[in-house]
């Protein structure tokens, strides 16, 4: 009995010592230096040296900022530092892997809203025009699902892949696809450089967040109370724009951000949020909103309360323009056009055809204020349409988004 107890205690001690030793070995065997720490800044320098056609590429990037500054009448809108280069055209040039037509994988958002529908339909429409086969997978807005989608699409060995990133959680899988020899083009979103995506085609989050904030600062003459209405907590599309706005407002010591709320990009939620704003901050001078859907809810809440709507920002949703038509609401709008998916496809095709492609293609889309708002309203179209749109009219009619 005593012997058994002794043996058990000894076994436990041996096991504990073994586990402790294994842990020590595991820890001691690991490097104390951060992986890739040298290549973070250093890589940038190296890349700068190799940056092909840097000057021209940089100019196209800065153009997207200057056009918004002009549209909003901003005297100052400094582009955030960004290194844009040309991708070596030889690297990804290739003949179709199967048959005569290229097969392009499209890891899409999914038809979860009108933006998602138009993004996919514009892609398919353009693919048909180009005679390209599409391998499609929808994430339905879920980054975890998209990780699986990308792996499955990559297993079909497509010629190239276009990914609408649902979150940075897919970076590892994108990197795996690129390592497999598939050129990946990110579309309407960004990922860290560790993803090794060949090119990113998007409207810049920093640009929208900063431009809206600068417009508000200018409207208020650099002083006043501002509320920030962001989209969805934790979602990069919302968080990056919000961060850019916060950084801009910090430059103005007399502008006070009194509250930051989330509208879930829903007019209904935004309306409730705005009703609370009216009660809590009656002296609010402006509202920074990242979306037109949020802005619609705000306009409704203020109008129902019989109060003047403070200057507001957002993306150019047709519904917002219809709601503010004929009113004196002051606003600044821009777009995050869903039909940029066709540019994403063009970029993927250019890579395969050995044409020059930039590593970052920042889409320049129309921006405007309440002074030009009237000319962009589409009374013949659905309220969810982002205007102005470059999507083909016949496609809009086919999708039931506009009348024939």
Partner 1 sequence: MTATTPAPAVAPTRPRPNWVAVAVRRGAAVWVIVAALVLVLSVLRGGSFWSTGNLAALLTSAVVLGLVSLGQHTVILSGGIDLSVGAMVTITTLLTAVLIDGYPIRTAPVLIGMLVLGALIGALNGVLITLLGMPPFIVTLGMLYLVNGAALWISSTPAGRVTSILSEFAFGRIGPIPYTFLVLVLAVVAMWFLLNRTVWGKQVFAVGGDLHSARAAGIDTTRVLLGVYIASGLLAAIAGILLASRSSVGSPTAGAGLELSAITVVVIGGTSLLGGRGTLLGTMGGVALLSLITNSITLLQFPSTITDLIRGIIIIAAVAIFVAKRR
Give me the residues that bind partner 1 (CB under 8 A), please: 23, 26-27, 30-37, 108, 110-111, 120, 135-138, 140, 142-145, 147-149, 151-157, 167-173, 175-176, 192, 194, 233-236, 239-240, 243
CB of 193 to partner 1, least distance (A): 11
CB of 209 to partner 1, least distance (A): 13
Based on CB atoms, which residue is closest to partner 1, 24 or 305? 24
277 sits in which H/E element = helix 267-280
CB of 311 to partner 1, least distance (A): 26
Based on CB atoms, which residue is closest to partner 1, 191 or 316? 191
Distances (CA, A) of 310 to 288, 319, 320: 10, 18, 14
Q: How many CB atoms lie within 10 A of CB 208?
A: 25
Based on CB atoms, which residue is closest to partner 1, 52 or 135? 135
Based on CB atoms, which residue is closest to partner 1, 33 or 379? 33
Helices and strands of the chain, counted as H and E runs:
14, 14
Based on CB atoms, which residue is closest to partner 1, 89 or 141? 141
- Answer yes or no: are the C-beta atoms of 345 and 132 closer than 8 Å: yes
CB of 113 to partner 1, least distance (A): 13
CB of 152 to partner 1, least distance (A): 4
Rounded Cα–Cα distance for residues 152 and 87 (Å)? 26
Q: Could you write out the DSSP letters of every residue in 154-198? A: HHT--SEEEE--S-GGGHHHHHHHHHTT--EEEESS---GGG--S
User: Which of 242, 395, 213 lies closest to 313 in space, CA to CA?
Assistant: 213
Rounded Cα–Cα distance for residues 162 and 108 (Å)? 8
CB of 54 to partner 1, least distance (A): 28
Rounded Cα–Cα distance for residues 311 and 211 (Å)? 14
Based on CB atoms, which residue is closest to partner 1, 37 or 404? 37
């Amino acid at each position: 009995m005593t012997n058994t107890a002794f043996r058990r205690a000894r076994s436990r001690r041996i096991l504990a010592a073994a586990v402790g030793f294994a842990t020590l070995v595991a820890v001691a065997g690991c490097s104390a230096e951060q992986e890739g720490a040298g290549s973070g800044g250093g890589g940038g320098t190296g890349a700068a040296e190799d940056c092909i056609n840097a000057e021209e590429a940089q100019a196209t990037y800065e153009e997207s900022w200057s056009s918004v500054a002009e549209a909003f009448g901003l005297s100052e809108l400094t582009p955030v530092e960004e290194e844009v280069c040309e991708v070596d055209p030889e690297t990804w040039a290739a003949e179709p892997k199967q048959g005569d037509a290229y097969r392009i994988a499209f890891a899409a958002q999914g038809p979860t809203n009108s933006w998602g529908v138009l993004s996919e339909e514009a892609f398919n429409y353009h693919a048909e025009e180009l005679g390209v086969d599409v391998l499609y997978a929808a994430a339905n807005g879920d980054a975890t699902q998209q990780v699986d989608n990308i792996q499955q699409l990559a297993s079909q060995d497509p010629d190239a892949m276009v990914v609408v990133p649902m979150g940075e959680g897919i970076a590892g899988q994108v990197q795996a696809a690129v390592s497999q020899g598939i050129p990946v083009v990110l579309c309407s979103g960004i990922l860290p450089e560790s993803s090794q995506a060949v090119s990113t085609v998007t409207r810049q989050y920093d640009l929208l967040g900063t431009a809206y904030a600068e417009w508000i600062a200018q409207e208020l003459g650099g002083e006043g109370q501002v509320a920030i209405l962001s989209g969805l907590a934790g979602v990069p599309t919302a968080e990056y724009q919000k961060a850019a706005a916060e950084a801009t407002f910090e430059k103005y010591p007399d502008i006070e951000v009194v509250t930051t709320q989330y509208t879930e990009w829903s007019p209904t939620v935004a309306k409730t949020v705005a009703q609370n704003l009216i009660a809590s901050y009656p002296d609010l001078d402006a509202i920074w909103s990242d979306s037109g859907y949020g802005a619609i809810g705000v306009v409704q809440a203020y109008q129902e309360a019989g109060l003047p709507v403070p200057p507001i920002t957002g993306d150019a949703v047709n519904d917002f323009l219809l709601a503010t038509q004929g009113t004196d609401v002051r606003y600044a709008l821009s777009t995050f056009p869903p039909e940029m998916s066709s540019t994403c496809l063009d970029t993927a095709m250019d890579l395969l055809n050995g044409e020059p492609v930039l590593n970052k293609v920042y889409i320049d889309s129309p921006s405007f204020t309440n002074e030009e708002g009237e000319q962009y309203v589409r009374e013949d179209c659905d309220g969810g349409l982002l205007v102005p749109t470059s999507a083909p009219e016949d496609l809009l009619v086919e999708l039931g988004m506009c009348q024939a």
